Structure 1
Amino acid sequence: MDKKVFAQQFDALIEKYAELLIGDANEEAKEKLRIWGLYTHIAKSMPALAKHWNGLYPEAKDEMKKIIEEIKLLNEQNRQK
């Protein structure tokens, strides 16, 4: 499969996921979901790595917390609609 075609098709998956999860699929929302999804996977599959990264980059950890809280809030708001 062509890499460009795959990238477009995967982006369509992320776009639909964003619409269903948080009710918005703009580029910023999709990027936050990509970051959130990958970080969540890392934290679950390699918690020591996530802990190490959190300690190494406390400002980034704080930003990650903001992204997680924002997605949680948007998801709750979207569910209430």
Structure 2
Amino acid sequence: VSSVGMVVTLFIAPTYATAFTPDPAATDVAVALTYKVLPIIPLIGFTFGLQSIFRACGKQLLAAKFNFVCMFVVGVPCGLFFA
């Protein structure tokens, strides 16, 4: 499902950006940013699926630990590195 969302986002990005501003420079920047974050969409879908499985199995604490590791141990250092 997230792959379909990624493909749909790929095709509607220019139209969606134009809906907010008629400025071509701003639209180009918005579309370029959208194209850069497209690979993240399947990863988000994977994370939502994993969280749903943990919740259905009654393993909310394990899911919370997974969220902590992904956010603070991996995400924050990567964000600081790429900033």
For the criterion TM > 0.5, the same-fold answer is: no
The alignment's TM-score, normalised by the length of structure 1, stands at 0.34
How does the TM-score come out when normalised to structure 2?
0.33
Larger-gyration structure (1/2): 2
